[in-house]
Chain A
């Protein structure tokens, strides 16, 4: 009896703690419980990694400045033991880190929080970098220059101003991408297509700049900067992409740096590189200034998941869904009484389904396991030791995955490429178990347990892919305590399972 009371107290305590923290966050700090009526704050993380040499390290990193349509709320840098300061130069702001003695792999972080805000327009048109003198293409030989002249003249005749000229040029360049002339120039002077276009525009006397940035999309990591071109027609700037031509609406394109100067300069380092990641988080529209309070405010926030580097935050978005899946599995097994093959295999399947989408995932799983079973039945004739056999099945699974991917890619069914999200080892064990089950208990039990697993995995998928639950689990991770107490309560449930009510039906029919 006392253990019952203990459990009751314990679970109530857990739930109360979880709910009150969530309530505090919601009512005092203003994090809303529902995802709508909010604005997305994108936290962009730049992660600079390098190996030091014996010399003192100086890293200079271009950081974004104000731009139209996207508001920068705050920026901060994290770097243990480095001297850090911000510097303005004629091409914009740069962050600088310095340290005299450094050893081992180094990582520097620079985070910036931005919101998409159409009304955020700068008072004056930014002219950074300062207009450069007209490009003379002096390094080009005369013959090439001449053909370039006639190429550009044609375009000039078909255009009205700087913007239409640029659009026409990009179209032409794309059409002739494979032409001998362009390839010759690209090869000879070691130009990228964008640099080639940039040079030609400036040769034409158009004020042009290279813009580097990326679209704001949640959950991206290991992102590199994309390059775009911007031309100035005397009144405003217009963005162009080499692939897509004129960009009419670039609402979510965040410009990290303008002007084509180098993003990352460093001394005393080897293999320096920078990668970006983006994570989206919701705050109430009413109080965007809240972000500041979030940052300065309670220790609660300071010790929350938001204080982690962004790529880890993205990982936690997935990890925090696992308890929801576990709760679903516990419920279906303890309350309903469903059989599955492997207790938590369905959760791993559900995680894979999140990437593949449900129907694709189900089809892929059934086909891999099906083909695997056929091959496994041959392997069982070879008289192998268990560990070797499972290893062989793992290799076969990888083979099946590759063949599926290649064939479907050739056929243009790109959905199948998500096959890589299935956990291979789990698939191999599933195949092994199913095949034993088949031999010992017959096909019926295989369908029963396999179907049960897929059913549980699908339900777990629906729970885990639910937008509200995903939002709550990431923004209110303290609610995990409530999930924990639910699981504990389930663990003490000693009543009948739903399927037992069917099973024991004959026992009470007559009475």
Chain B
């Protein structure tokens, strides 16, 4: 009716809405005091490294404006690197450099920036331009992940990553986020990236959406999503599930990238994962959460992953 879905039909399908997510899941299972651990990527990195979870390696940090002069030294002659604000949200303020040409640095879309631009970007990060609430922030310089070329066909100029929603330690849903021309190389769905729902049992694509509408091929590369299959799938879910144990966040989004040599790496964690993953998977998350609620909370990572694969996998 009038282009609106009926609320009762959505409820029947178990689609989670924003208000319910905030009240019933985030405020109930994500303890406020644990937020800094997830919101501050530097803290996340320290703690994940400590327990041996694979993450992209760190080149250095810049904490004070006077250190900006020395960025050159920190970067050295590295060809590719990523500069990001430790407390940025929604992918804001991330500068990816893939190569160098003389004094100029090259971004994934081929744009060139100077060293001066990089310094200004770091200065903005430190001033808190990208952080939640404008707090002073720290810039992190990470080595560039050498992306596994399996996704090249499904990504335009950007970084494909895998988002796994981990509910109380159980992987509940997963999707691959593919950047498009429209999303400007970013993997954020609201900017026009394609979300591909992933079968938890096999790592194969289920369904793909762009702007909340189903698509079957990538809008720029024209490859069919149904052929997509994520390698290292058996390593990936335990990696995601183990983040619950270190953060104690019951409703957690885990962003994973695949490195050519290192395999799956945790890129960042998110304490407020969005709802689009349901559209990408064509299924509501509430029934899965309800099923997880009935399980024992004392299971190991392997047992939890096994439960998810058995109950939420398609095949």
Contact = CB atoms under 8 A, between A and B. Distances in A.
Interface of A: 334, 337, 383, 385-387, 436, 440-442, 492-498, 500-508, 511
B127 A387 contact: yes
A334 B10 contact: no
A383 B213 CA distance: 40
B36 interface: no
B123 A500 contact: no
A496 B7 contact: yes
Contacts of B232: none
Given A504-B15, A507-B15, A386 B128 contact: yes
7 contacts: A383-B116, A386-B127, A494-B17, A501-B6, A504-B5, A507-B10, A508-B13
Interface stretch (B19-27, B69-77, B237-245): B19-27
B140 to A, nearest CB: 18
Nearest to B276: A503
Interface residues of B, number: 37
A501 B17 CA distance: 9
Contact of B279 (A440, A501, A506): A506
* Among B4, B23, B191: residue with most chain A CB under 10 A: B4
B51 interface: no
A462 B266 CA distance: 49
Contacts of B129: 386, 436
Interface string B277-289: 0110010100000
B9 A508 contact: yes
Interface of B: 3-7, 9-11, 13, 15, 17-20, 23-24, 65, 92, 116, 120, 123-124, 127-129, 134, 184, 191, 209, 212-214, 275, 278-279, 282, 284
A494 B5 contact: no
A506 B24 contact: no
Contacts of A493: 19
Nearest to B94: A440
Given A492-B23, A506-B212, A441 B191 contact: yes
B282 A495 contact: no
B19 A505 contact: no
A334 B134 CA distance: 24
B20 A505 contact: no
A289 B307 CA distance: 78
Given A494-B23, A502-B3, A503-B212, A508 B10 contact: yes
Contact of B9 (A440, A441, A492, A511): A511
B19 A495 contact: yes
Given A385-B65, A496-B10, A511-B13, A501 B4 contact: yes
A77 to B, nearest CB: 49
A495 B19 CA distance: 6
Given A385-B123, A508-B10, A334 B19 contact: yes
Contacts of A387: 127
Contact of B17 (A440, A495, A505): A495
Contact of B278 (A383, A505, A507): A507
B128 to A, nearest CB: 6
Given A495-B7, A501-B10, A511-B9, 12 more contacts: A383-B116, A387-B127, A436-B129, A492-B23, A495-B20, A496-B19, A500-B275, A502-B3, A502-B4, A504-B278, A507-B5, A507-B15
A498 B213 contact: no
B13 A494 contact: no
Contact of B123 (A383, A503, A504): A383
Contact of A496 (B17, B65, B214): B17
Contacts of B65: 385
Contacts of B5: 501-502, 504-505, 507-508
A495 B92 CA distance: 29
A504 B18 CA distance: 12
A256 B177 CA distance: 75
B7 A501 contact: yes
A142 to B, nearest CB: 77
Nearest to B15: A504
* Among A383, A385, A440, A504: residue with most chain B CB under 10 A: A504
Nearest to A383: B120
Contact of B284 (A494, A505, A507): A507
A330 to B, nearest CB: 11
A442 B188 CA distance: 13
A494 B278 contact: no
Contact of B24 (A334, A436, A441, A494): A494
Contacts of B284: 507
Contacts of B209: 506
Contacts of A494: 17, 19-20, 23-24
A339 to B, nearest CB: 10
Contact of B3 (A495, A500, A505): A505
B179 to A, nearest CB: 14
B188 to A, nearest CB: 9
Nearest to B17: A496
A108 to B, nearest CB: 46
A388 to B, nearest CB: 9
B267 to A, nearest CB: 19
B292 to A, nearest CB: 19
Contacts of B24: 494
A103 to B, nearest CB: 45
B120 A497 contact: no
Given A385-B65, A494-B19, A497-B19, A504 B127 contact: no
A118 B220 CA distance: 79
A508 B212 CA distance: 13
A379 to B, nearest CB: 12
B282 A500 contact: no
A492 B20 CA distance: 9
* Among B9, B13, B24, B284: residue with most chain A CB under 10 A: B9
B28 to A, nearest CB: 10
